[in-house]
């Protein structure tokens, strides 16, 4: 087992994974990878080429052709990309194409990675696995405020419907479905602010570092 610390953070959309993961990476002095960007950038390339995000051959080719610049694009978080990313993420060839990049990223110096299958598929031996979740209502409100802050005017209902649709797609797909790893600690952020979630995660990580095995499951 690698001695480099891997912190795997999985969970549904808008549960607060990204904010938490970035902060943990800073506190732990580790590189951070938002793995959702890989699927978003693949989807963006497919859409730009007027391709079909459900076409496995085209989507896999775009996943294999990703460049670091693709991940820096400012237009990866639009509702159209949300949908297309969920579609390309369900394709086994796309997931296989993105696997080694994620493993190499983590193996170099250790890392904090967030996504849907980090603790189950990408780093099943990760020392720290957090499954960050929250109620649909709490997640929808957060995503709606975030979109409004970026000048994207959509109704709370449509954000809720979209999240429920993506939750169902992420959880029911055959390839790497969203589920907590058996040894993940569940962190429910429904009633936690970002600071409280960070503090709780730090406590969990400290407990794991001190113990011989993974920390007990909590809610």
Binding stretches for ligand DC (CB under 6 A) = 13, 35-36, 39-40, 85-86, 89, 115-117, 166, 170
Minimum Å distance from CB 31 to ligand DC?
16
Q: Which is nearer to ligand DC, 39 or 131 (CB)?
A: 39
Tokens 């250790």 locate to 110
SS3 call for 207 = helix
Minimum Å distance from CB 113 to ligand DC?
8
* DSSP code for 13: T
Minimum Å distance from CB 66 to ligand DC?
13
**In sequence order, what DSSP letters do the residues of 23-92 get, joined into one string?**
HHHHHHT--EEETHHHHHHHHHHHHHTT--TT-HHHHHHHHHT--HHHHT-S-SSSHHHHHHHHHHHT-H
**In sequence order, what DSSP letters do the residues of 162-191 get, joined into one string?**
HHHHHHHHHHH-SSS-----TTPEEEE-TT
Q: Indicate if the alpha-carbon torsion angle 206, 209, 198, 11 is positive or negative.
A: negative
Minimum Å distance from CB 103 to ligand DC?
12
Q: Which is nearer to ligand DC, 13 or 134 (CB)?
A: 13
Minimum Å distance from CB 36 to ligand DC?
2
Cα(160)–Cα(176) distance, rounded to whole angstroms?
24
Q: Which is nearer to ligand DC, 170 or 188 (CB)?
A: 170
Q: Which is nearer to ligand DC, 123 or 204 (CB)?
A: 123
Q: Which is nearer to ligand DC, 40 or 142 (CB)?
A: 40
Cα(55)–Cα(52) distance, rounded to whole angstroms?
5
């Amino acid at each position: 087992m690698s001695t480099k610390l891997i912190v795997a953070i999985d969970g549904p959309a808008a549960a607060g994974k990204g904010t938490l993961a970035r902060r943990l990476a800073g506190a732990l002095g580790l590189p951070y990878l938002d793995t959702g960007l890989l699927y978003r950038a693949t989807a963006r390339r497919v859409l730009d080429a007027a391709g079909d995000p459900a076409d496995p051959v085209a989507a896999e080719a775009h996943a294999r052709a990703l460049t670091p610049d693709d991940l820096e694009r400012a237009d990866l978080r639009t509702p159209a990309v949300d949908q297309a990313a969920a579609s390309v993420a369900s394709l086994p060839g796309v997931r296989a194409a993105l696997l080694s990049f994620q493993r190499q990223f983590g193996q170099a110096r250790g890392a904090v990675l967030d996504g849907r299958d980090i603790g189950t598929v990408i780093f099943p031996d990760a020392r720290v696995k957090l499954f960050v979740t929250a109620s649909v209502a709490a997640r929808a409100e957060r995503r709606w405020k975030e979109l409004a802050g970026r000048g994207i005017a959509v109704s709370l209902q449509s954000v809720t419907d979209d999240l429920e649709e993506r939750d169902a797609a992420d959880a029911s797909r055959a390839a790497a479905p969203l589920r907590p790893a058996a040894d993940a600690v569940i962190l429910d952020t429904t009633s936690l602010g970002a600071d409280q979630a960070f503090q709780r995660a730090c406590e969990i990580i400290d407990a794991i570092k001190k113990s011989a095995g993974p920390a007990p499951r909590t809610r």
